[in-house]
């Protein structure tokens, strides 16, 4: 009997920290926190999620209020999690360069529950809380702001059979180089420097360990499809618009969520069909390849969107 991949359980490694309790950071009131080279100074108590940690306020255009500060008694403005220029972190998402309408649609999907994680994952639940809290005018301003940036990539992909000892920590992985373990069929992603990650330093770099040969196998999926399904490039283009250079663990979670149909906003249908054909191993390979590509550019996105809205050419 054939079992469709859609019925497959979600791979737990893609959701580090599931089952963990959500704790707000404990304020150690007056302790001053500095980041070498950054002009801003923060107190430890300011890492409580009420404001974005904006180490380099002059390195990005003026951000709308909703990106930097929570309103009233609220927690978590967009920039606290996604960072002030929307570059994102592995446990959330890169917002840079996404079309403003897409950003608005996705936030509405989180609010309405048509976009959920395949398993309870606290970062996604907090995103839903933020989506509930934001007012339409603030969302519009935040979406326009994030869409103006060129997408960046901060993750190095390393193919290997053995990785440093890894534990789930702050919804990513922390590495202990004094030990090691087998990678197996997983993507294990975490910051190179845990301290910078905790300080929400935008220059934090990440490593994603992927199985040997994953990038080459993922290229075949991207260019020719998997299990008879369509090639990724047939919709995302050669530049893999919207996805290239994203965090591989983020990509694996999205493919899992489409496959589990917990990501089921109206525009998700084509991706549900694609992901339904993918095994866990193919999700890993596709995420490794897509994550290893240079980020798409906004010019490439515009070109693709113009092609889509152009009158159809004659078919062969």
Q: Which two tokens stand for residue 41?
A: 């100074």
Nearer to ligand HEC, 39 or 270 (CB): 270
Segment lying near ligand HEC (by CB under 6 A), choices 116-124, 159-167, 190-198, 204-212: 116-124
The Cα–Cα gap between 282 and 55 comes to 38
- In the bound state with ligand HEC, the residue whose beta carbon lies nearer, of 103 and 163, is 103
Q: What is d(CA 184, CA 212) in angstroms, rounded to the nearest whole number?
A: 10
Contact predicate 166/207, CB 8 Å: no
- Which member of 6, 8, 192, 235 binds ligand HEC (CB under 6 A)? 235
- Number of residues that make up the chain: 316
The answer to whether 11 touches 119, Cβ cutoff 8 Å, is no
CB of 195 to ligand HEC, least distance (A): 20
Between residues 214 and 251, which has the closer beta carbon with respect to ligand HEC? 251
* Beta carbon of residue 273, minimum distance to ligand HEC (angstroms, whole number): 7
Does 142 participate in binding ligand HEC (rule CB under 6 A)?
Answer: yes
Interaction of residue 52 with ligand HEC, rule CB under 6 A: no
Contacts with 76 (C-beta within 8 Å, 6 or more apart), sequence order:
49, 50, 70, 126, 129, 130, 133
- Min. distance of Cβ 233 from ligand HEC in angstroms? 8
Sequence-ordered list of residues with C-beta below 8 angstroms from that of 135, at least 6 positions apart, any chain: 66
The answer to whether 243 contacts ligand HEC (rule: CB under 6 A) is yes
- Residue 88 zone, left/alpha/beta (φ > 0; ψ -120 to 50; rest): left
Whole-angstrom distance, CA of residue 282 vs CA of residue 61: 39
Q: Is the dihedral of CA 101, 290, 268, 223 positive or negative?
A: positive
Query: Which range touches ligand HEC (CB under 6 A), out of 156-164, 178-186, 208-216, 264-272?
Result: 264-272
Site for ligand HEC in 64-103 (CB under 6 A): 66, 76, 78, 80-82, 91-93, 95, 98, 103
Interface with ligand HEC (CB under 6 A): 66, 76, 78, 80-82, 91-93, 95, 98, 103, 106-107, 117, 123-124, 126-127, 130, 134, 139, 142, 221-222, 230, 232, 234-236, 242-243, 251, 253-255, 265, 267-268, 270-271, 274, 286, 290
């Amino acid at each position: 009997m054939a079992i469709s991949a859609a019925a497959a359980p979600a791979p737990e490694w893609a959701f580090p920290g599931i089952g963990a309790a959500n704790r707000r950071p404990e304020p150690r009131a007056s302790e001053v926190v500095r980041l070498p080279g950054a002009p801003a100074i923060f107190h430890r108590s300011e890492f409580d999620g009420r404001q974005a940690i904006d180490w380099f306020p002059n390195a990005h255009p003026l951000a709308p209020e909703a990106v930097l500060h929570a309103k009233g008694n609220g927690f978590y403005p967009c920039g606290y999690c996604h960072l002030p220029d929307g570059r994102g972190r592995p446990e959330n998402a890169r917002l840079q360069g996404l079309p403003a309408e897409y950003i608005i649609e996705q936030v509405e999907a989180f609010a309405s529950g048509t976009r959920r994680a395949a398993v309870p994952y606290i970062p996604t639940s907090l995103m839903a809380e933020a989506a509930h809290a934001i007012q339409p005018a603030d969302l519009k301003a935040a979406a326009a702001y994030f869409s103006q940036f060129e997408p960046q990539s901060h993750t190095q992909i390393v193919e290997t059979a053995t990785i440093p000892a890894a534990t789930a920590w702050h919804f990513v992985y922390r590495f202990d180089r004094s030990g090691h373990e087998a990678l197996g069929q997983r993507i294990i992603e975490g910051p190179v420097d845990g301290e910078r990650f905790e300080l929400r330093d935008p220059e934090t770099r990440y490593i994603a360990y992927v199985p040997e040969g994953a990038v080459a196998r993922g290229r075949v999926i991207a260019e020719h499809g998997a299990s008879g399904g369509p090639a990724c490039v047939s919709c995302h283009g050669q530049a893999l618009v919207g996805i290239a250079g994203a965090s591989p663990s983020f990509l694996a979670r999205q493919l899992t969520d489409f496959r589990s149909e917990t990501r089921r906003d109206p525009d998700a249908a084509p991706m549900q069909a694609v992901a339904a054909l993918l095994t866990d191993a193919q999700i890993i390979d596709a995420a490794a390849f897509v994550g290893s590509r240079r980020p798409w550019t906004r010019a490439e996105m515009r070109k693709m969107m113009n092609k889509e809205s152009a009158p159809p050419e004659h078919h062969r």
